[in-house]
Structure 1
Amino acid sequence: MESRPNVEQSEALAGRSQRPPNLFVRLVGLLLAIVGLGLLVAGGWLAALGGNWYYVLAGVGMLATGVLLFRGSPLALWVYAAVVLGTVGWAVAEIGFDWWQLVPRGDIVFLVGLLLLTPWITRSLSRHPGERAPLPWRGAGVPLALSLVVAAGVGAAALLSDYHTQPGTLPDKRASVAANYGGVPDGDWSAYGRSWHGNKWSPLDQVNPENVSSLEVAWSIRTGDMMRPGDPHETTYEVTPLKVGDTVYLCTPHDIVLALEAETGQERWRFDPKITVSPHLQHLTCRGVSYHDSRVPGAVKAPNGECAERLFLGTNDTRLFALDARTGQPCPTFGEGGQVNMWRGMPSRQDGWYQFTSAPLVMKGLVILAGAVYDNAAVKMPSGVIRAFDVATGRLVWNFDPGNPDQTAPIGPDQHYAWSSPNSWSTSSADEDLGLLYVPMGMGAVDQWGGERPETTERFATSVLALEIATGRVRWVHQTVHHDLWDMDVPSQPVLVDLDIEGKGRVPALAQSTKTGDIFVLDRRTGEPVHPIEERPVPGGAAPGDHTSPTQPFSSVSLRPEPMMREADMWGATLFDQLACRIRFRQLRYEGPFTPPSTQGTIVYPGNFGVTDWGGIAVDPERQVAFVNPDYFAFVDRLVPQRVEPQGNDSPAGTSGQTGPAGGSDLQASDEHGLNPNKGAPFAVELNPFLSPLGLPCQAPPWGYVAGVDLASGKIVYKHRNGTIRDESPIPVPFKLGVPSLGGPIVTAGNLAFLTSTLDYYIRGYELTSGRELWQARLPAGAQATPMTYWSEASERQFVVAVAGGHGSLGTELGDHVVAYALPREETGRSAPSGR
C-alpha cells in the first residue's frame, strides 16, 4: 500500500521532466541553430578556398547547441562548453595573447555562453522542473562555466600583453648646428619644412618634456573658409603656416591667403584670388605658401623696390601669384598683374586636371614648382613639367619636362610640353651650396596599368630627382619603385641632413620617406646609397599588355609592414565580419609586396595612402634622427576591362573612343577611391580600402604608430601605437588601437615632437628620444595637417600652431580653425631661446 503513492509520484515527476522548454529557450535555440548553419556554410566556403577550418567546426558546434537547446536537453551546455574551449585554443594558437585580435574571435562566443548560464535558460533545462532552478555551476552548467572562466583568464592575460610596442631610446645630441640653421632665423618658420632642407625641426627649446603638459591655448581663429557647394569630395585643410618676423602666413583650401599677428592671431590682411572650382577638380587644398626676402644680401632685388618681401602661392585653378607680404596685394611687375598662367605650354587644357596643392620652392632668385595631375582620368593628361620663374618678374627661366629631359631652355610660344609625363605634386628641397634641387617624383598617367609607358616615364617616375637649380638639368635620379603599378608616388619633401656614418665620416645625406615604408638614405651629391638598398625578386604576372619589374629596391632603413599579410591578420567587430574578410582575403590576389593589379582584385599593402604620405618625416639634425608617423592600411585594386579604340597622337585627354567597362557607358572621372576611368587604357580601375561588411578595416590593428629612426645607424629604435578610435566609433570610446594619420610631425631642440594628423581630433606632444606621449589637447575638428612652432618676441614665448579643418575623403570633421598653444606667461621665465 505504501509503494503505490511513490510510484505515482515518480511517474508524475518523470512526466513533468519531459515538459518542453519555454518559448524563450526555443527561440534562443533556433537562433543559435541558424547562426551555426550560417557559420557552417560560410566556413565551408572559406575552407574550399584553402582557408581555416575553425568556422566549419564552430558552425557544427553552434548548430548542435541550438538543436539540443530547442529540445530542452542539458547536453546543449556541454556542447557549447566545447565550442568555447575550442575557440580559445584556436585563437591563442593563431594569434597569441593579442587582445584586439582575440576580441572578434571570441566576443560573440563568450556573450552567448553567458546567456546560456542565465536562469532563464538553466531553469528550463532542469531535470526537476518542480524545484527551484539549479545554479549555473551545477550539473551541465559546470563545464560551460569553467570554459568561460578559462576564456576570461585568457582575455585578462591578453589585456596585460603588448605585442605592438617596440621600446627604445634615440641617441642624444651628436652634432651642433650653427645659429639660423638652413638660413632661417631661430625663431621663425619661413619655408614649408621650416627651411628648404625640409627638416621640420626648430632650434627652440623653451617648451620641453618637463613643461609641455602646461601648454594652453594662446589664441585661436577661424578663417571663414569652409566647404562650398560644388567643391570636390576631397576638400581638405592641409596647410602648414609660415612665420616671419612678427607675422604668421597661411592659405586655405580656396587659396585665400591670411596674414596674422604672431602674438595674438589678429588678422592683418587677407587675399582672395577668387579661384574657379572646376567640377572636374580632384582635390581642393593648399598645403602652404612660400616666402622670399629681397632685402637679404645677394638676393634678387624687386623692380623699383616694390614687394621687397614676397609670398608665392600656387592655386587650385593653375595660377602662380606673387603677393606683397606686408599688404597682401599682388606684385604688379610679376607676370601679368602679379600672376602667371600656368596652363601655358601644356599640350591641351582640361580644367581641373592640373592644379597646385603644395608650396613652391624659392631659391637663388627663382620660384620653382611642379603641379598635381588628376590620377587615373586618362592616358592623355597634362605634362608633369617642372618650371622655374624669376622671383622678381615671373619670367620663365627654365623648364624640365620629364618627357623631354634634355631640353631645359624655355619652350617657344608655338611649342608644348609632353603629354602625361611624371609629375611632382609635393614640395621640393634644395641645397644652395651644392646648387641642387631635389624633387619627389610621382607617376605619369595611368597608375595601375603601364603597358604603353615611354622610356622617359620608366626612368623618372616614382623617384628622387636632383636638378641643377640654375639650369634645371638632371644631375642624378634614384628610383624607389620600378615600373610602378601601385600608386607609390614619392609623396613627401626630401629631407637634407648631414650624418655621421661609421666608416664614412660625415656625409651630406638626403632622407626620402616613401609610401612603401622604405626610407632611402642617399648621398645628396651623387644619389648613391648611404645605407644598403637591395634589389629583391617580387611577384610577376601583370595584366595583359603590361609587364612587371622582376625586382624592386628594398631599403635597409624601413618601416615596411612585416611579415606579409596573412589570413590570420583579418579583423572585424565579430567573428562574422572577420569570416567575411577571410573569405575576401582568399578570393583576392596577394603574394606579398608588389603583387600586380589584377581583374580578380589585388590586395595592395601598404595601400594607396602609404606607410608615409605627403606629411613625410621630421629630422633632428643635431641628434641625426627622424620622427615618423607610419600607417598600415591595405587597399584593393581591381582592373576593369574596357574596349578602347585607337586615338591619335594629338587627341586631348578624355576624347578617346573608349566604350566603358565591358562595353558599358562612358566613365566619368572619379576621385582617388571608387571607379577611376583611365580613358584610353584597356582597363579602368577600382580603388577601395580593404574593409569588412560593417565598414571596419579587414586587417587587424594597430593601423597607426609613431616611430623613432636613427638615421646615422639606419635602425628603427622604437614604435608605439598612436591615436584612439574616439572620433571614428559610434560611441566615443578612447581605445588606443593606433589609428591612421595623414599629415606630418615636427621636432624641436627641446627633445619634443608634435603631431596633429590622426583620425581622432587631438594635437599631441611626445618625448622625441623615447616616443612617449606627454601631452594632448582636444581640437575642434580633424587636423590632417602638419603643425609648426615659432618664437614671439612680444611675450618671449614659444608657440605651437595646429590647423584643424578636417579631410573630406577621410570623413573627419570639417572646420576652419587655427589654434596656437604656448606656456602660461608666468611659467616661461621670459627667457630667449637657449643658446640661440
Structure 2
Amino acid sequence: MSVESKEHKRYGAGRIAAIVVGAITALLGAYLAYGGLELLKLGGSFYYLPAGLLMLVSGILLIRSDRRGAWLYGLTFVLTLLWSLWEAGLHFWPLAARLGLLAVIGLLIALVTPGLRGNAGQAPVRRASYGLAVVLGLCLIGAFAGAFQPIWLVKAGEAPAIAQGYKPGDDGANWTNYGRTTDGNQFSPIDQITPQNVGDMKVAWTFRTGDFAYGGAENQNTPLQIGKVIYACTPANKVFAIDADSGKQVWKYDPQVNPGYSPTWLRCRSLAYYEVPKPAAPASADAPVASAQPAACQRRIYLTTADLRLIALDAATGEPCADFGDKGQTSLAKGMGELVPGFYNPTAGPVMAGDRILVGGWIMDNQAVDEPSGAVRAFDPVTGKLAWAWDIGRPGVTTEPGPGEHYTRGTPNTWAAPTYDPQLGLVYLPTGNGTPDMYGGQRTAAINRVNSSIVALDAKTGAERWVFQTTHHDVWDYDLPSKPVLYDVPGPNGERIPALIQTTKRGEIFMIDRRTGKAIADVVEKPVPTDGLPGEKLSPTQPYSVGMPQIRQGVLTEAGMWGITPIDQLMCRIAFKELKYEGDFTPPSTSWYIPHPSPFGTMNWGGISIDKVHDYLIVNDMRIMMKAKLLPRPEADKALMASGKTTPSVAGIVPMAGTPYGVNRAMVTSALGVPCTDPPFGTMTAIDLKTRKIAWQRSLGTVEQLGPLGMKTHLPIPIGMPSLGGPVATASGLIFYTGTADYYLRAMDVATGQEIWKSPLPVGAQSTPLVFKSPESGKQYVVVTAGGGRTAPDRGDYIIAYALPGKP
C-alpha cells in the first residue's frame, strides 16, 4: 500500500472518530441546553443552558472536522471547572459528578484533535493533544482511585481521654436485653478481641434457621446470651436456643404464627429473659415453709408474635410455661377492639423492667384514623396477668377496659424498645405520632401531648411521671424510632449526671435528665413554616437540640443535588426545583413536597452504642431524600382502586381513611436510581460526651452489592449507604457493625473511626451484633444474624459466630 493510501486510510479513521466523538458531545450539549432551559424556568442554575449550547456547537464543529470545536470544548471545560469549584469547593464526589464525564469526553476530543481539518501533519498539535490526553487520563485514573477512599466529614484529632471511674468488671456478664442491659447502651465490657488481634478473627460456627425473610419480612434480631446459651428469634417468631461454643441447636420452638394475620412487616428484634425469684428461706424453724418454685420455668424466655400472643418458654427446654396465662401464652388482642390483620404488630419484642414485662406495638403507618391503640401494657412475668396499661385516652386508669370497651384507638404507639432504670424505678417509652401519620386535623389534645415524645412511667404501677416532646403535632412521621439510652454523662464540674439520650429521625439528639425530664443539653424552640392544609393545627415552633451535634444533611439546596454524571445531576436539580420545599418541617401539601429529613429517618431503630471507656456516643445514620403528596379523598380512593392492592401496605399510595386525604410517598432519585443528594448517604459518627462535639464522622458502607439501575457494581467504593441496625462498642476500643448495604461484618477503631477489619457475609445483615464471652470456654464471640438487607435482593437464614482461633 502506498504512503498516500495509508495517510488517506488514517485520515478516514480519524474522521469517523471525530464524527462519533462530536455526535456524543452534541447530544450531551443538546440535553444540557434543554434541561438547563427547564431549570432556568424553575429559577435554577444559569450554568447548564450556556454550557449545553457551547457543547452543542462544539460537537457540530467536531462532526464537520473543524478544529474550532476542540478549542470551544476546551473553553467549556475550563468554565465548567471554575463553576464547579465555586459551587462545590474541593469536595470529591460533587466535583466528580460535575467533571468526570466531561473529562472523559475531553480525553476523547484530545485524541481526535490531531486528525481534524487543518491539524494534519502538525507535530506540535499532535504532541500537545496527546499530552493533554495523558494528563486527563492520569486525572481520571487518580479520580477512580480516589473513589475508593472513605468520605471523612470530620477526622479524628487527639486520642480520646479515658472516662473517669469506669471498670469493665462492673458490667453484667450476660446479654439479657435488646440493648444488652436494661439501660440499652449496647456496650460490651469484654476486651479479649482488640484492635491488634481482630484481624485474626475467623468464623467459629454457622447456624441455619430455615426461616428466610421474603416480602415484607426482615431479619432484625439481636439474640440474647444467658450463660453458655444463645437465644435467637426469626421473622416468623420461631425461637432457637443454640450452644454458644459449638453452634449446635439446644432446642427449637415454633409458635405456628398465623400467616394470614400479619401479611407484611414480619420481624422479631428481640426476646426477653427473666429468672423467677426463689422463695425466701423461713425466718425460723417454726415458720411455715413457702412452696418451692418448681425447677421447670424458673428461667424464662418471652416472645411476642405477629398474631398477637405473649408466650413464656422454659429457657432450659423451650417448652411453654404452663403457669403463664393460658398454657404458656396470653393474648395481646384483648382490649384492642377491632383488629385488621397487620395493623398492629409487637415487632420490637417484649422488654423486662424489673418484675414487669412491657409490650408495645408497631401500628401500620397511614392506614386510618381508627387504627388500634398505641397503649403500652405491663404483664406479670409469672402469671401473665395484666399489671397495668398506659392508655392516654384514660388518664390515671391503668386497668384493662371493661366488657364491650377497648383501649383508646388511634393513639401514639411505642414501636421501639423501652428502657428501664432500676434505681429510679422508671421505664421510658419512645412514642410515635397519632394515626394516620401525615395529617393530624382530627387529633385530640391528648394525642398531641405525647406524640413523638419520651414518656417516663413508674415501672410498678404505670403512673406517668413526666413527658418530653421532640416534635410538636407531628405530621412528618418523626416518631421516635429507637430505644432511649440511659447513661451517666460527664458534667461541667467532673460530676456524672443521670441522663437519657434519645436519637430521632430528625437527626436531633436530645439529652435530658432521666429523673426530671428536663434538658441537660440545651434545647431551643425555633420558628417553622405553618402554611398547612385546611383543618391542620401546625405548631409555630419546633424543638432543636442545639447542645448536641445534629446528625443529618443540612438544609437542602439545588447545588447539593447529585448524580453520577451531569446528566442525572441535572435531572435531580430539576426534580428538586419542582418540589415544594421550605426547609425543615415543610408542611404537607397536595403538591409534591419534600419532608426533610425523610420519614425513613436519619437515625433509626438500631439505636446507639455508648463506649464507656472513652465517654463516646456511637451512632450510624442514613441520608436520603423523599417526596410526598397528599391526595384529596376522591383522588386517593381512585388511585388505590387502580393500584390493585389486596393487602394493607406502607409503600406507595396509602389511604389515611377517615381524613380528607390519602398520601403517596416515594424516593427522589435520578433515572439511574441514584439518590439525588450529595454523598455520603450514610455515616458513622462518634460524639465525645465530655465536649458534646463530633470526634469523627465518616461514610459507612460501599456500593459493592448495589449500583445504577439495580445492577451490582462489585466495586467496594465507600460512598456511604443507608444503614439499619446498631453498632456495638467494646471495652478494647472496637466498634462492631453489620447493618450496611454491602455484605460485611466490620470492626472499626473507636478512637479514630478507621476500619481495621472486615469479613464477608453470605447475605446482608441489618441487626445489631451480639458480643459476649462464653463462661464455659472463656472465648469472646461476635454473633451476627444475616437474613438479607432491605435494599439488596439476596436472602438468607444465617446466624454466624466469629472468634479468635485457639484457646483464650
* Same-fold status (TM-score > 0.5): yes
Report the alpha carbon displacement of residue 561 of structure 1 after superposing the two structures with TM: 2.7
* Residues 1:223 and 2:209 aligned together: yes
* Residues 1:751 and 2:736 aligned together: no
Counterpart in the other structure of 2:226: 244
Match of 2:198 among 212, 216, 220: 212
Q: Do the aligned partners of 2:681 and 2:721 also contact (CA within 8 Å) in 1?
A: yes
Alpha-carbon distance in 2 for matches of 1:390, 1:41: 68
Counterpart in the other structure of 2:797: 816
Counterpart in the other structure of 2:559: 568
Partner of 1:758, secondary structure, is: coil
Alpha-carbon distance in 1 for matches of 2:791, 2:195: 32
Counterpart in the other structure of 2:154: 165
Alpha-carbon distance in 1 for matches of 2:674, 2:582: 23
For the structure 1 residues 89 and 152, does the alpha-carbon distance in structure 2 shift closer, same or farther, using more than 3 Å as the test?
Answer: farther
Deviation per residue, 1:374-409 (Å, 9 max, x gap): 111111100011111111111111111123232112
Match of 2:46 among 48, 53, 60: 53
* Residues 1:365 and 2:351 aligned together: no
Deviation per residue, 1:262-297 (Å, 9 max, x gap): 111100100000101237633011001110011468
Deviation per residue, 1:105-127 (Å, 9 max, x gap): 122211112222334x642x233
For the structure 1 residues 765 and 148, does the alpha-carbon distance in structure 2 shift closer, same or farther, using more than 3 Å as the test?
Answer: closer
Alpha-carbon distance in 1 for matches of 2:170, 2:163: 18
Deviation per residue, 1:424-448 (Å, 9 max, x gap): 0111111112111111111221111
Alignment of 1:575-724 (within 5 A): 575-643=566-634, 659-660=637-638, 670-724=648-702
Counterpart in the other structure of 1:345: 335
Alpha-carbon distance in 2 for matches of 1:424, 1:748: 29
Alpha-carbon distance in 1 for matches of 2:14, 2:757: 57
Deviation per residue, 1:119-172 (Å, 9 max, x gap): 4x642x23376xx58675468x59976995897699599879966233234331
For the structure 1 residues 152 and 764, does the alpha-carbon distance in structure 2 shift closer, same or farther, using more than 3 Å as the test?
Answer: closer
Alignment of 1:483-562 (within 5 A): 483-503=473-493, 505-555=495-545, 556-561=547-552
Counterpart in the other structure of 2:286: none
Alpha-carbon distance in 2 for matches of 1:568, 1:146: 31
Report the alpha carbon displacement of residue 178 of structure 1 after superposing the two structures with TM: 7.6
Q: Do the aligned partners of 1:246 and 1:263 also contact (CA within 8 Å) in 2?
A: yes
Q: Which amino acid aligns with 1:567?
A: E
Q: Do the aligned partners of 2:220 and 2:268 also contact (CA within 8 Å) in 1?
A: yes
Report the alpha carbon displacement of residue 811 of structure 1 after superposing the two structures with TM: 2.6
For the structure 1 residues 667 and 459, does the alpha-carbon distance in structure 2 shift closer, same or farther, using more than 3 Å as the test?
Answer: farther
Alpha-carbon distance in 2 for matches of 1:215, 1:665: 50
Alpha-carbon distance in 2 for matches of 1:301, 1:714: 53
Alpha-carbon distance in 2 for matches of 1:370, 1:508: 25
Alignment of 1:211-360 (within 5 A): 211-227=197-213, 233-278=215-260, 281-295=263-277, 304-360=294-350
For the structure 1 residues 302 and 370, does the alpha-carbon distance in structure 2 shift closer, same or farther, using more than 3 Å as the test?
Answer: farther
Alpha-carbon distance in 2 for matches of 1:675, 1:714: 41
User: What value does the CA root-mean-square deviation take over the aligned residues?
Assistant: 2.9
Q: Do the aligned partners of 1:240 and 1:287 also contact (CA within 8 Å) in 2?
A: yes
Q: Which amino acid aligns with 1:714?
A: R
Greater shift, 87-96 or 764-773, is seen at 764-773
For the structure 1 residues 54 and 341, does the alpha-carbon distance in structure 2 shift closer, same or farther, using more than 3 Å as the test?
Answer: same
Alpha-carbon distance in 2 for matches of 1:102, 1:128: 32
Q: Do the aligned partners of 1:495 and 1:511 also contact (CA within 8 Å) in 2?
A: yes
Alpha-carbon distance in 1 for matches of 2:549, 2:22: 52
Report the alpha carbon displacement of residue 544 of structure 1 after superposing the two structures with TM: 2.6
Q: Do the aligned partners of 1:217 and 1:821 also contact (CA within 8 Å) in 2?
A: yes
Q: Do the aligned partners of 1:804 and 1:817 also contact (CA within 8 Å) in 2?
A: yes
Alpha-carbon distance in 1 for matches of 2:291, 2:476: 45
Alpha-carbon distance in 2 for matches of 1:74, 1:372: 66
Alignment of 1:87-102 (within 5 A): 87-102=80-95
Greater shift, 96-105 or 780-789, is seen at 96-105
Gaps in structure 2 of 5+ consecutive residues:
1-7, 282-289
Counterpart in the other structure of 1:650: none
Counterpart in the other structure of 1:70: 63
Alpha-carbon distance in 1 for matches of 2:535, 2:353: 43
Partner of 2:58, secondary structure, is: helix
Deviation per residue, 1:544-566 (Å, 9 max, x gap): 32132111111121333353121
Alpha-carbon distance in 2 for matches of 1:540, 1:146: 56
Give the alignment's TM-score, normalised by structure 2. Answer: 0.92
Q: Which amino acid aligns with 2:220?
A: E
Deviation per residue, 1:289-334 (Å, 9 max, x gap): 1100114688999964541111110111111101111111111121
For the structure 1 residues 143 and 75, does the alpha-carbon distance in structure 2 shift closer, same or farther, using more than 3 Å as the test?
Answer: farther
Match of 1:468 among 445, 455, 458: 458
Q: Which amino acid aligns with 2:228?
A: D
For the structure 1 residues 296 and 215, does the alpha-carbon distance in structure 2 shift closer, same or farther, using more than 3 Å as the test?
Answer: farther
Deviation per residue, 1:521-543 (Å, 9 max, x gap): 11111111111111111222122
Report the alpha carbon displacement of residue 512 of structure 1 after superposing the two structures with TM: 1.0
For the structure 1 residues 432 and 582, does the alpha-carbon distance in structure 2 shift closer, same or farther, using more than 3 Å as the test?
Answer: same
Q: Which amino acid aligns with 2:800?
A: V
Q: Do the aligned partners of 2:262 and 2:307 also contact (CA within 8 Å) in 1?
A: no
Greater shift, 319-328 or 363-372, is seen at 363-372
Counterpart in the other structure of 2:761: 779
Alpha-carbon distance in 2 for matches of 1:815, 1:726: 18
Report the alpha carbon displacement of residue 209 of structure 1 after superposing the two structures with TM: 1.7
Alpha-carbon distance in 1 for matches of 2:301, 2:490: 36
Alpha-carbon distance in 2 for matches of 1:293, 1:136: 85
Alpha-carbon distance in 2 for matches of 1:113, 1:348: 66
For the structure 1 residues 193 and 86, does the alpha-carbon distance in structure 2 shift closer, same or farther, using more than 3 Å as the test?
Answer: same
Partner of 1:825, secondary structure, is: coil
Counterpart in the other structure of 2:285: none
Q: Which amino acid aligns with 1:573?
A: I
Counterpart in the other structure of 1:768: 750
For the structure 1 residues 551 and 597, does the alpha-carbon distance in structure 2 shift closer, same or farther, using more than 3 Å as the test?
Answer: same
> Percent identity among equivalent residues?
37
Report the alpha carbon displacement of residue 669 of structure 1 after superposing the two structures with TM: 5.5
Gaps in structure 1 of 5+ consecutive residues:
1-14, 645-657, 829-836
Alpha-carbon distance in 1 for matches of 2:644, 2:191: 58
Greater shift, 154-163 or 271-280, is seen at 154-163
Match of 2:102 among 88, 109, 127: 109
Match of 1:445 among 410, 428, 435: 435
Alpha-carbon distance in 1 for matches of 2:498, 2:793: 39
Alpha-carbon distance in 1 for matches of 2:377, 2:12: 88
Q: Do the aligned partners of 1:190 and 1:244 also contact (CA within 8 Å) in 2?
A: yes
Report the alpha carbon displacement of residue 812 of structure 1 after superposing the two structures with TM: 4.9
Alpha-carbon distance in 2 for matches of 1:661, 1:545: 23
Q: Do the aligned partners of 1:80 and 1:144 also contact (CA within 8 Å) in 2?
A: no
